Structure formats: structure tokens, C-alpha cells
Structure 1
């Protein structure tokens, strides 16, 4: 059974404890060894006929995952009203985000992330049902079984991850007809409805249908237009998911996902007005997202020596953004369609003292990147470009259990990236005070790189039947971010010069303890990442927004997590995150940034949470998170002072019905999520209060 605490920090420990009647074995990688039907001499003790706890390394066994992993169950996401990746990020240690609008957060982990606005490679890829997604335009997250947030580089989980990875798994259909219906109403005139239905189609086949919609005025009062809905949105979202279990033991999952969001873009204003959630912009602006995604997954365990996992699919996104003209005294915006397709094939197994895993990953992405900045008659620039990335990688990992309590885990990844930029053009014109026109074009530009990426882990997991469960690790991982181009550069010389690849050397040490009676758990993780050619969003002397590279940078810090259950009805949790992420050598545009902290990264964050379930269908949860002082991304001239987020919910459940009163940011903390060198800023949402009424059937 899976032990997943509903409290915010306890989701760090999704401990998979499997009661096995015929076999007691040590943890054995991705496949738990099976006992033979007639054990030979010496196997009797290992296959005694009694129930025992066996920790199995699988996609659900986060206790024995040698990295910082936060698991959020679907129930936690719903109870905490974490509706976007930004909501999730700022409630976890050493995770943050930057955002220009409500629906477009960019995740930053341990100081790494943010340049995705200009480049096309994600520091922190988002994977839904096994398929990498365009998270910049994702919008709503809904009807998930769970979400895993992993910090640190990843080599063997499909896409390459420089700073970390977010893996989301949608909820499987059930084998009985039923469903749920939820209605919400909250501040900002927010109205939300979601309906999910499980429909059996046969003894081994079922379909899950989820549809929903949300309408909100937003949280900005525009004094110039005398409107309160200029940052509002209305969205529709849905998913079809088919699950089929064939006679050979294979599991087939096919899902189709769609989000359609139309909204205003009245977010940028002066910091003083932004913190009051006010605006004097003369237009509402546009922020529209249309997102389609589909995936097909296959899983089959042929034997303990061979397990097959396949995930194939893709997504198509169109993001339209137009900032109100009064923000920059110019018309500015873009319509950016993106197409991605690819997948992962993984084989794994176990034999004797060895467990192994290997596979291939491939993906192709194509994105149109036009950008208009028009303050005619004084100046106008209009750039167009098409980016294409073909990415192929092979990876392998071997687990050698050289003693009952120790494992050595070497891993290796070979990655090839082929970037191209075609149809680039840059038009610059003006008629006042002097008339001129400059049109530049470039032929197709290409950049490619093939890199080997090694990793090595030493894991300690003592096998005892009493006391606490323990797991420790020491790891080294070579990290990599591919080179690329600046499609929004207005000068041909800048556009045709690719920025450099980034490399990191990441060291991590961690130790976990978990009481076998599920009374408490604790974890401590320390890390250090030395980086060369770190990709950073910056503005050059021509005023172009480009990806520059800091010659040397580093991130180091630690994470502490703990849970305690003094009684069966009360769970208390806490976390502490410390990060120092800074430039060691970075000179750009005549400025020396060496010694400065990376933007968008608080040096400290800590949180406390509690969940009380007194019985009779009642539950109460409350959480508090304090975020430290932060230089805003991408500008270092604007700073967030420390702030505290307080969330709470009271819920009552009956057999068919449930009702909940909730609040987010109850202390009404005022802080910014984006800041530009020109002085404009975007504020986070104010206090949110709401009521949810649900029905299950």
C-alpha cells in the first residue's frame, strides 16, 4: 500500500510498502525478484510464508530514490488548490518561479531556470503521462493522480534535465461506473466547475472523461478603464484517458488533453501599483493559450529480467500575447505556435545482484517565434524566426548490490542535439526624428552538439526487520544544457551567433529515516553544483533581449524535511530550504555581475503544515511558508522582501457530498513575480477565499 500523507511536506515520502506472502527480498531496483515456486536450499529464509514489508524501487517508491523528490498526490493538489505550476513551486523548499501572467509560470529549482522565455530549452522540463510538454503555455493542471517534483539533474528519465524535472501522471479510469462533480466560487469572481466520469467498456477496459471550465475577473483594478476584469480569464479544459489491460499482462494507456484559455494581459505596471493590484493601462491586452496533447503508454512485465515501458506522443500549442500599449508606449506581442513529438522506450530488469535499466529518448520541436515592438513613428522592430530542435539520447543505469545494505549505481547518457533557426528576418524602421529602414535576413543557421554525461551513486539501505527504515546516498551527475539561438534578436549579427552550451558538475548527499509504524519521518539533503557557461537572460547594448552565458556560476544548499504523527488523526510537517546561487565570473554589457545572487531565487524558505482529521468526515489543514529576500527575474534592480504565505481549508464529507471553505495567502502577502530593468513589474495574486461543493457518485 502506498503511504502518502496529505500534509504538504509529508508528500516527500511516497513510501511503497508491499506486503508479500511468498517472498521476503531486499530492494532490487526496478524489478522485485520473484521467489521460485519450489525454492532450493538457502532460499527458505528468504521466501518464508509470512507477510513482510518489502521496499520496491519503482516509479512510486520515492523513499529509495537518490534525489530530492516531492510527491504531491491528486488529493493534495485539490485540497491545497494548487491549480498551476507556480502555485506548486512556491510551496516547496528551494523551488520558485517567475511569471508574466496567471497561466504562464516558469519553474526555477535551486537557482536554475528562467531563460526559457528567450531560448527553447527548459531547465526544468514538464512531463505529462510520459510526454514532455510546453509548460510555458500549459495553463491549468487538473485531475492528476500525482505530481513528482525532482530537484537536480536527471539522466535516465527520458528528457535531459539540467535543474530538475516535474513528472505529472493523470488519473487512471476506474473499473466501475462513477464519477465526481465539483463547483467552486472564490474572490476575483472566480467560478470553476469540473466533472469526471469513469466508464467501464469491458472487463479489462475503461475510459475516464474529465471536462471543466473556469471564469474569473482576475485580481487587478484598472483605474483608467474603470474595470476589474482586465487581468481576467475564461478557460475550458478536458481529458480523455483509456486504460486497457491485455491478456498477456500488458497495460495500455492512451490520453488526449486539451486546454483553451482566453484572458487579458493587464499585469505589467509600476511596482507600487502592482503591489496594490491596480493598473492605469489603456488597454486590456491579450493572453490566449490553446493547448492539445496526446500520449500512448505501454507497460508490461515479461519477467523479473525484462520490463518494457513505452511512451509516445506530442503536443501542439499556440500562445498569443499582446501587452497593453501603455506599458512600453508601444504595441508589443507575439503569436507563438509550437509543435513537439517524441517519446521514450525503456527496458529494465533484475538478475542476481544486478538491476539494470536502459532506453532511448527522442524528440523534435518546431516553434515560430515572431515578435513585434512598435512605437511608430519613432521606432519599430519586427522579427520572425522558426526554431527547430532534434534531440536523441541513449541512457543506461546499472545497480550493483555488492552487499545486503549497499548499492553502487553508475549511469550514463549520450545526448545529441541539432538546433536550427530558419526564416529569420529583422525589420527596423522609423520616420521621426529621422527616417530610416533596415531589413536583415539570414539563411538557415545550425548548431549541433553530442555529449557524454556520466553519473555515479553510492546508496546505503540497511535491511532490518526492526527499528527505523534508512536510506542514504552520495551522488555525482554531469549536467548539460544544449546551445541555441536568440530568435528575438533584432540584429543579424546577434541572431546568427549561437549561445554556448551549459555544463554542470552536481554533487549531492542525502539521508532519509522513516518509522516503520508511520509515526515520523525525516530527511536531510545537501548539494553543490559547479556550472560553466550558465545561460542567463540579459539585455545587450542594442537593447536586445538575449541569452548570455556566465562563464562560471554555482549553486549550493540543503533541504530538510520532517513529519510527525503524535496521534493517528494529526499529521505535522515542516521543511527548510537554503540556497546560495551566485555568479562566480559573469561580465556582460560592460557590467560585472560576479558575486551577485542569481535572480528569482530566495536564499531561504521554510514551511510548517498540519492536517487534522477528527472523524465523522471532518478534515482541517493549514500551512505556512516563508520565502526569503529575492532579486526578481530577469531584473536584479527590483527586490522582493521576505513574505509569508498562509493557506487553510476546512472540509466536511458525507457519503455522496462534500463541502469545503478554503483560503490561500490568508495574510494577504504582497510580492512580485516578475520585474524588468525598465521598471515594470508583475504582482502575485492577493488573498483568495473560496467555497467548494462536490458530489461523488
Structure 2
């Protein structure tokens, strides 16, 4: 979308917001009790009795779902000043995330990472989360849902470590509302956002319209980096009859990053750990015209039909269209002999991806052998097409001083040229059927089961000269059946325990939407399985809740280097993880709220050979790279006066290995933030927030053993938020 069109969309949004806000505010002056009641009702929706959306398609609560279920709702996003989907994920115990430009939200959870953690948008998997799930400005999202461990039975191939679902705000028949946000802070960061939900006809409305838009900018904390992002989401809900509702939802995302920061050269410090090269922090060794950008369009048509005694049917027709472009020098290493930073990794790349599909879900309550039961059944078909246009130049580009600030232009490098030449097109067609059941045995026990069978057809066309390892065209088909069975039991009115077994399937290497012949060949899908037991409880007369889960996951048949034939791979590897996760949310007194989570994982490469210089080397017994053993988070919020509140947050991440060889580690880190909020009126608040207040320099993600991706230094922002 051209910038002028984006500006027009945001302008229209803000005009509608301003007009509607004035109308709603005027109405509220005559009926303050109604407004207060609305706040109270919304507050009561938190806790273990909320709907377990994202973990099941059944009508079940978090308490009675035998799984680790996490939700980050809109109130939490706002209270914590969450800026992007990346920051929202800190609410999930044991999870770490980083977003180097060549990755999306690069999530590591329960010992698994990359494509082994599925990331979805409104329940839709574009099967390219390692890139497509780039951090998005949080304004347009209603909540983030997550389920720990294998969940292919819900979302299809993948999801060994877990699934994360980003849910967009949608038109709502319950009430008119409007809101806005303005934020400015360190590193040239700014956000301007607005949204409105309007019912046509008041409480008897047959149509509701929601429109949200946000524009964000950031200069970055490294030399000459500049980011600009747009997000726009609109939806129109129409009550076609008392039992039939249709919603049309459109969404647009645009991210423009100039001279992108890819990481910093690293050295082995005095502590024996991998750390940033002295003098390199804040330097940008990318070319002056380095670039990453993406433009994403979403379209969804949702039809909800209440068929009475026969149940409820929801049909979702969707289309996704994304164009991503890269033009960078991406790799930097310190060369002591030449006293400079060696640059390499020249890549100009384009991804052109479209996904079209339809999912139909049916849910019905009934009885099974005289016992109350729920059923769901689903049918999904999708077509995923992606063409990649890579242009890469091997070898070194040059050697630049550590203090270098403007190291040349991309097209000054010999061998580079403007334009895009297609490399390969991957087409992935999926057909899947699924079912879930929840049967209750008396008042204390519930048995939840799920099953999914899918067929995946992959067809790859090579647009370049064919070779033995990259033929002109090849295809593969896969079939997988995955499931979950879990038993939940009430041990008191407010406490449950559960045990479950779940399975997953995913490609042995790479991602189907981009994988080449050498990664997949004639291999079948890898298999994952999990055993999990846990407990969930409310206490202190409902003022607190806590969860605890213990799990073990094993992934088999992943692709590894053939120890007997250098250059070949075999689908015989194994990786495993065992761990504990705990959460706490308690209000010991009315003015104070304490929230915390903790994750511990022992992750292992059980059977794994890595190709090192053409020689297979065993990594059995090692920990996967960038996988910390412990991650903890704490949030404290205190009301100190009728209109004032303060709070602090702490995040601690243990040290991680930088590579599969486990030869080097990066240091663990702890980050501290704080805020002060003034509730100027019931509708308007002003918040000053500091992040990384100790100004800790820390490694967020290791990129091999020669580069590190650093986290953001200290920053402060001021935010004005309004809702009506």
C-alpha cells in the first residue's frame, strides 16, 4: 500500500474515533453506573474459569482443559505497556524470543525452536512462522493464546514445542467503544494508534463495524537504523438472522526497515563466554542501503450458524498475501590479524507467498452412554504457494574498522545487480479432518480427546539450472495422524489435577513452504510425543490462582548428517526435553497485584550428527543452541493513591550455548523495568515507563560462534492512552 493510502486510512480512523469518542463520552456523563458495571464484568473474565481458546475448540475452561494453557488478554497488554507481539510472549513461562531480521519471532520453548513452535494468526498457519511471524505492533490484537507441547492435533504439522496464536480485534455487538494511544520514547520511538467499534442500531443492532490503525516509527539504537510500520485492521459483523452471523475481516501490515541491524561481531571474553567485540556495540556493519521490508494482506470471511439442537457451525474462508524483500550484508566477524571486521553474507532475497484455505468446524453438546459430552468436528483445506528470489554472493566483501559508520552500498559489491530472478516455487496442499470430545464423569472427572488426520502434498519447481541435489521438479506427499488424550480431576471446588499424552508431526528438516530436495528427499515426517501432568488452583477466596506443569517431550526421526557418508542426511535423529513450568497471579491486598512465571527445561540432542567442514560430528548429549535452562518473570503493580499506581517488572534468563557443539556460552541476564501511571480521568491515563533501567548490555540471541544479536539498551517512554 502506498504511504499516501496508509495515511488516508489512518486519518479516516482518527476522524471516526474522535467523532465516536465524543458521542460515547457525552452519553456516559448521564449514566456513570453503566460504565462502572462494564469495567467490573470485564474484570471477572480473568482466571482459570475463562474460556480455553487456543487450546481446544470445545466449550471448556482453562481449569478443565488437561494442558498448559496461557492467554495474554487485552487488559494485560495495556497494563504492561506491551509494544509488539514479541514482548507479549514474556507472559508464557519458560519461553525466550528474539527477532533478528532473518527470523520472525524466533521462539524457543520447552527445548524446541524454529518451526517446531507453531505461530498462527487467528488460528491460521501460513507454515512459515520462522519469517512470517515478525513482531507486529500490538495495538490491533485482542489477545495472544498459547498451548505448551505437541498440538498438531489442533493446527496441523509442526507444533512439537507448542503453539502460539495471535488474535486480532474484531467487530463486537456488545457495546460501542473507542480508544486511542500516543507514545514517544527513547531511540526515536513513537506510536500513534486509534480504534473504534460502532454498532448500527444500538442494542438491537444487526451490523457492527470495527476499525483499528497504528503507525509506529523507531530510529533504533544502532547506527542509522530506521523502522516504520503500519497496521490496519477492519471488520464488519452482520446479523443475517437470529441464528446466523457473518463477519468480513481485512488486515494490512507494512514494515519498512532501513539499514537493518543483523548483529554484532563477537569474541571470547575473559570469562570464556561469547560476548560483543569491544567498541562494536551500537555499530551497524550493514551496507548504507541495507533493507528489509514486508507487506502483508489478510482477508477472512467468517460465518457462524447456530443450528439449535444440532449444534453450532463456524466456517472460515481465508486468504493471505505477503511480499518480503531483503537487501543486506548479513555476516560480520572479528579478524584480529587484520584488526578489522570481516563482512560477508551478501544476499538480496524476495519471498512472494499466498495462502488460501477454508476451515469448517461443528460443535454439539449431547450425551454419550448417559454422560454429558461435547463433540467438535472439523474439515480444512488449504493451498500454500511461495516463490523465492535469492541472489547471493559468496566469500568476503571487505574488512572494515570497528568504528566504521557508513560501509558502502549494496550494489557497489561486485556481482550484485538490481532485479529479482526466481529460484524455486513450493506449493503445499493440505486436506485435514479433525475431532475433539469432552466427556464428564460425574462432577469431578473429565476426559478430553482429540484426533487429526491430514494429507500434505508438496510440489517444488526449480527455476534455475537443475542438479542432482536440486532437480527441475520434484514432489512428496505425507500423511499424519496426531492426537491428545487427557484426564482432568477436581480435588476440591477450586483445584484440578490432570495428566495427558499428546503427539505431533513435522518435517524432518526445514519448512515445507521453502525446503529443498536435499533437506527432505524421500523422508517421512518426524514424530513427537509428550507426557504432561499438572495442577491448577484458585486460592485466597478467588484473589489468587496458580498452575504447575511437568512434561517430557521426545522428537524422533529428525534429519541429521549421515555419520558414514559425508554430505548426506538421514532421518534418524532424536531430541528430547523435560521440564517444569509454574505461574502465579495473586492479589494479597486490594492495592497490590503480583504475577510471576518460571520455566525450567533440560533439553538434549539425544542422537544428532552435525556436518562440520564436510565431516559428520556427533553432538549427542548436548543442549540445543539458544536454549536456556531457566527463565523467570515477575510483575508487581501497586495502587498508591486513588489516581496513581506504580509497578516494576523483572525478567531473568539463564546462560545459553551458542552452538550445537556446546563449545561456547552467552551470559545469562536480568532486566529490570518500572512505571508510574496517572489515571487523569476514568477514560484517560498517562504512563511513564522505563525498560532495562540498569542499562544492561546483554546477548539476546547467539548467531553461531562469531556473531551476537544484542538486546535493547535502557529506554524511557511516555504514553497517553484513552478509552471511551
Counterpart-to-counterpart distance in 2, 1:174 and 1:410: 31
Cα deviation, residue 193, structure 1 = 0.3
Matched, 1:15 2:46: no
Matched, 1:506 2:530: yes
| TM alignment of 1:84-123, pairs within 5 A | 84-101=84-101, 104-114=104-114, 122-123=115-116
**Is the 1:131–1:342 Cα contact (8 Å) retained in structure 2?**
no
**Is the 2:501–2:532 Cα contact (8 Å) retained in structure 1?**
yes
Counterpart-to-counterpart distance in 1, 2:329 and 2:95: 30
Matched, 1:558 2:580: yes
Counterpart-to-counterpart distance in 2, 1:484 and 1:424: 22
Residue 624 (structure 2) aligns with: 598
Cα deviation, residue 334, structure 1 = 0.7
Counterpart-to-counterpart distance in 2, 1:282 and 1:496: 34
Counterpart-to-counterpart distance in 2, 1:260 and 1:504: 35
SS of the residue corresponding to residue 647 of structure 1 reads strand
Residue 331 (structure 1) aligns with: 346
Counterpart-to-counterpart distance in 1, 2:537 and 2:506: 34
Counterpart-to-counterpart distance in 2, 1:12 and 1:603: 30
SS of the residue corresponding to residue 546 of structure 2 reads strand
Cα deviation, residue 521, structure 1 = 1.5
| TM alignment of 1:151-550, pairs within 5 A | 151-160=148-157, 161-174=159-172, 178-202=177-201, 203-221=205-223, 229-230=224-225, 232-264=226-258, 265-271=260-266, 272-273=276-277, 276-303=281-308, 305-324=310-329, 327=332, 328-329=343-344, 331-352=346-367, 353=371, 354-375=373-394, 384-425=423-464, 442-461=471-490, 468-482=493-507, 494=518, 497=521, 500-515=524-539, 517-534=541-558
2:693 to 666, 687, 695: 666
SS of the residue corresponding to residue 87 of structure 1 reads helix
> Are the structure 2 counterparts of residues 4 and 197 from structure 1 closer, same or farther at C-alpha, using a change threshold of 3 Å?
closer
Residue 28 (structure 2) aligns with: none
> Are the structure 2 counterparts of residues 405 and 486 from structure 1 closer, same or farther at C-alpha, using a change threshold of 3 Å?
closer
> Are the structure 2 counterparts of residues 207 and 694 from structure 1 closer, same or farther at C-alpha, using a change threshold of 3 Å?
same
Render the CA deviation track for 1:173-212: whole Å, top value 9, x for unaligned: 3555542221110111111100112233341211111111
Cα deviation, residue 579, structure 1 = 0.6
Cα deviation, residue 458, structure 1 = 1.3
Cα deviation, residue 443, structure 1 = 2.2
Counterpart-to-counterpart distance in 2, 1:530 and 1:581: 10
**Is the 1:613–1:620 Cα contact (8 Å) retained in structure 2?**
yes
Render the CA deviation track for 1:250-279: whole Å, top value 9, x for unaligned: 333221111111113232330324972323
Residue 148 (structure 1) aligns with: 145
**Is the 2:191–2:216 Cα contact (8 Å) retained in structure 1?**
yes
562-571 or 80-89, which moves further after superposition?
80-89
378-387 or 414-423, which moves further after superposition?
378-387
Cα deviation, residue 532, structure 1 = 0.5
**Is the 2:619–2:661 Cα contact (8 Å) retained in structure 1?**
no
Cα deviation, residue 383, structure 1 = 8.0
Counterpart-to-counterpart distance in 2, 1:270 and 1:332: 18
Counterpart-to-counterpart distance in 1, 2:89 and 2:570: 25
Structure 2, unmatched stretches of 5+, are 1-37, 267-275, 333-342, 398-413
Matched, 1:125 2:118: yes
Counterpart-to-counterpart distance in 2, 1:343 and 1:488: 18
302-311 or 142-151, which moves further after superposition?
302-311
Q: TM-score, normalised by structure 2?
A: 0.78
Counterpart-to-counterpart distance in 2, 1:15 and 1:4: 14
Cα deviation, residue 242, structure 1 = 1.4
SS of the residue corresponding to residue 117 of structure 2 reads coil
Counterpart-to-counterpart distance in 2, 1:406 and 1:285: 58
SS of the residue corresponding to residue 475 of structure 1 reads strand
**Is the 1:243–1:251 Cα contact (8 Å) retained in structure 2?**
yes
Counterpart-to-counterpart distance in 1, 2:51 and 2:518: 55
**Is the 1:177–1:200 Cα contact (8 Å) retained in structure 2?**
yes
> Are the structure 2 counterparts of residues 325 and 180 from structure 1 closer, same or farther at C-alpha, using a change threshold of 3 Å?
closer
Cα deviation, residue 568, structure 1 = 1.9
Counterpart-to-counterpart distance in 1, 2:574 and 2:494: 40
> Are the structure 2 counterparts of residues 111 and 548 from structure 1 closer, same or farther at C-alpha, using a change threshold of 3 Å?
farther
**Is the 1:4–1:13 Cα contact (8 Å) retained in structure 2?**
no
268-277 or 203-212, which moves further after superposition?
268-277
Counterpart-to-counterpart distance in 1, 2:171 and 2:450: 35
Q: Which is richer in helix?
A: 2
Matched, 1:694 2:721: yes
> Are the structure 2 counterparts of residues 396 and 286 from structure 1 closer, same or farther at C-alpha, using a change threshold of 3 Å?
same
**Is the 1:256–1:294 Cα contact (8 Å) retained in structure 2?**
yes
**Is the 2:298–2:321 Cα contact (8 Å) retained in structure 1?**
yes
Cα deviation, residue 415, structure 1 = 1.6
**Is the 2:557–2:571 Cα contact (8 Å) retained in structure 1?**
yes
**Is the 1:183–1:194 Cα contact (8 Å) retained in structure 2?**
yes
Counterpart-to-counterpart distance in 1, 2:331 and 2:482: 47
Counterpart-to-counterpart distance in 2, 1:563 and 1:680: 38
Counterpart-to-counterpart distance in 2, 1:304 and 1:207: 30
Residue 340 (structure 2) aligns with: none
Q: TM-score, normalised by structure 1?
A: 0.81
Residue 586 (structure 1) aligns with: 608
SS of the residue corresponding to residue 125 of structure 1 reads strand
Counterpart-to-counterpart distance in 2, 1:424 and 1:637: 39
SS of the residue corresponding to residue 66 of structure 1 reads coil
**Is the 2:494–2:538 Cα contact (8 Å) retained in structure 1?**
yes
> Are the structure 2 counterparts of residues 269 and 201 from structure 1 closer, same or farther at C-alpha, using a change threshold of 3 Å?
same
Residue 21 (structure 1) aligns with: none
Cα deviation, residue 533, structure 1 = 2.1
Residue 633 (structure 2) aligns with: 607
